[in-house]
A and B are shown apart, each in its own frame.
Chain A
Amino acid sequence: MSKKIIFESSEGESFEVDEAVALECQTIKNMIEDDCTDGGIPLANVNSATLTKVIDYCKKHVEAAAAAEANAGDKDIYGANKDIELKTWDEEFVKVDQPLLFDLMLAANFLIIPGLLDLTCKTMMRGKTVLQIREIFHIKKDYTDAEEAEVRKENAWAFE
């Protein structure tokens, strides 16, 4: 029976996870090592919806790592397929709306989950033009017309 860790979301909801899953978060790992996880870990800046996703992510990656280790001897045969499978899973995982993606990124940053941080940062911009990024993320262009012209001149292709 593995040790359990209890997370508490910003709404006060409790989430029980295996210690191995919690260890995916560098921040939690440090807390576990310092032995200050008794009575649950309150995550005041992570809401339940985000936490559910974060736990999903950590679980999947713990499982994948365990499976990879079990197949270590046959890595040449199965390794590549497993990598592709996990990659596909990751791609599906981040097909979420912008606010949740944003929260996931903040949570990954706060909990220090390098893989998730990488994934969310890349997903944020992938394949979008400058104008699309502005629209999707509701970013006001704060350039003056002259500055905008300068930026466009240097990077015209990025606006197409």
Chain B
Amino acid sequence: MEDNKKRNPNSHECNSWSELPLDLLIMVFKRLGFVDFQRAKSVCSSWLSSSRQSVPKKNHTPWLILFPEEQNNSYCKLFNPEEKERLYKTQDTGLDFSKSVCEASYGSWLLMHDLCYNLHIVNIFTNERIILPSLESQLGLTKERRTKPKNRILSCLFWIDEKTKDYVVVCSLDNLPVVYSKKVNNSWKQIPETSECLGMVYKDHMLYFLNYYGDFCIFDFYGETPQQTFQRELKVESVHSRKISSRLRIVATKLVATVTGNVLLVQKIWRSIPMTWSFLVIKVYSYSSGNLKEHQLVNSLGNESMLFDQGITVLANETNGFIANSIYFSGGDDKKDRNDLFLFNLQTHKTELMHQFDCSKFQFSRAQWFLPSFTHA
């Protein structure tokens, strides 16, 4: 007997892993990082039920979704900065990405529209889809008018609840006030006095809005209809003019909501001699400590990294490989042509190509950051 035990020490351990007592399994799950948690729960039914009794750590590492270039390719690739050697593939989305544009992301969801501005929200992992009401009918746009650039979508953002699937989608269109759609009313409604949108960001049921005249407002979306709760005028010179000087041109303006509780006005500036980008970061509101007496120039993001195109910040750490106090942005200004990804270091004021996320060999050049959040079924 003794002999037998020694010769085959693995015989009893072989089964042990799947027979781990429930409390021990829950304990293991509690300690797993986000990605490992999602994998482990798919292993077998006892692991799945243990995973349901432990809450996964909230994911703080954004992934890149890489849209295909070629026609009739309905798969996307997913890149997790924590696993640089891997590239995941999504399920067949049924979308022709050469004819679809991604406007925004929230959690694992993307807001997409086709060339006819039919909008829908799709979950990258489960492929679940929510068709949004047509902009055309609600706004009385005709086909001819829609194709004119003056009625194009300037920017879109959205929020969705993973469990209830309640959503809020907000769109700014040229020459029109900002419109929003909620799951409950399933139509588009205008938010009064929100024309000439320069930038907006949505966080914790609040819409932060800035127009070309420097009016900054906050709309509370908790109730049935959005309520304006705050307004002030920003006296930022560069808001009013697109051109700072003959060599400096503002190419994009964004409102960014940070993880530490600030709303920033961020301007991407193109310098023609020498040809470089730079960024102007101004703190306009602090939702943790309330209103600021006046806006403040921000010289450092501390340990945060900003995803400029998404209007968010993430905490940089050694696991996710993000560089603190840097702004990540795409080179092109047109959403359809986001080729290279760059990062601008706020301390050194240097811009570099994002080498560590080099995906060039995969022929997927349109990329968008998103922050995976899995439904905890």
Contact = CB atoms under 8 A, between A and B. Distances in A.
Interface of A: 98-99, 102-103, 105-106, 109, 117-118, 121-122, 124-130, 133-134, 137-143, 147, 151-160
B237 interface: no
A124 to B, nearest CB: 7
A153 B128 CA distance: 11
Interface stretch (B84-92, B255-263, B296-304): B84-92
Contacts of B91: 153, 156
Contact of A122 (B17, B33, B83): B33
Given A128-B39, A151-B42, A160-B88, A139 B32 contact: no
Interface centre among A118, A130, A143 (most CB of B within 10 A): A130
A125 B42 CA distance: 12
Interface in B58-89: 78, 83, 86, 88-89
A140 B18 contact: yes
A106 B28 CA distance: 11
B10 interface: yes
Interface in B29-48: 31-33, 36, 38-48
Contacts of B127: 153
A80 to B, nearest CB: 10
B273 interface: no
A122 B39 CA distance: 12
Given A121-B28, A125-B39, 16 more contacts: A99-B16, A102-B13, A106-B24, A125-B32, A128-B36, A133-B40, A134-B44, A138-B17, A139-B18, A140-B18, A141-B44, A153-B127, A154-B125, A155-B42, A156-B90, A160-B89
A141 B17 contact: no
A158 B15 contact: no
B87 to A, nearest CB: 9
Nearest to B36: A125
15 contacts: A105-B28, A109-B24, A121-B31, A122-B32, A126-B33, A133-B39, A133-B43, A134-B43, A134-B44, A138-B14, A139-B44, A140-B18, A140-B44, A154-B375, A158-B39
By Cβ-Cβ distance, the 10 closest A-B pairs, closest first, are A137-B17, A99-B13, A121-B31, A125-B36, A157-B88, A139-B18, A158-B39, A121-B28, A138-B14, A130-B42
Contacts of A143: 44-45
A105 B36 CA distance: 17
Given A142-B45, A155-B125, A158-B42, A137 B32 contact: no
A138 B40 contact: no
B37 to A, nearest CB: 8
Contacts, number: 99
B95 interface: no
B43 A139 contact: yes
Contact of A121 (B10, B13, B32): B32
B36 A122 contact: yes
Interface of B: 9-10, 13-18, 24, 27-28, 31-33, 36, 38-48, 78, 83, 86, 88-91, 125-127, 374-375, 377
A117 B27 CA distance: 9
Contacts of B40: 125, 133
A142 B13 CA distance: 19
A99 B39 contact: no
A47 B33 CA distance: 29
A130 B39 contact: yes
B336 to A, nearest CB: 26
B90 A99 contact: no
Contacts of A105: 24, 28
Nearest to A103: B13
A137 B18 contact: yes
A157 B32 contact: no
B140 to A, nearest CB: 40
A98 B16 CA distance: 11
Contacts of A106: 24
Interface centre among B28, B38, B41 (most CB of A within 10 A): B28
Contacts of B47: 139
Contacts of A117: 27, 31
A125 to B, nearest CB: 4
Contacts of A155: 38-39, 41-42, 125, 374
Nearest to A159: B42
A102 B16 contact: yes
B28 A124 contact: yes
Contacts of B43: 130, 133-134, 139, 141
A142 B27 contact: no
Contacts of A154: 125-126, 375, 377
B44 A122 contact: no
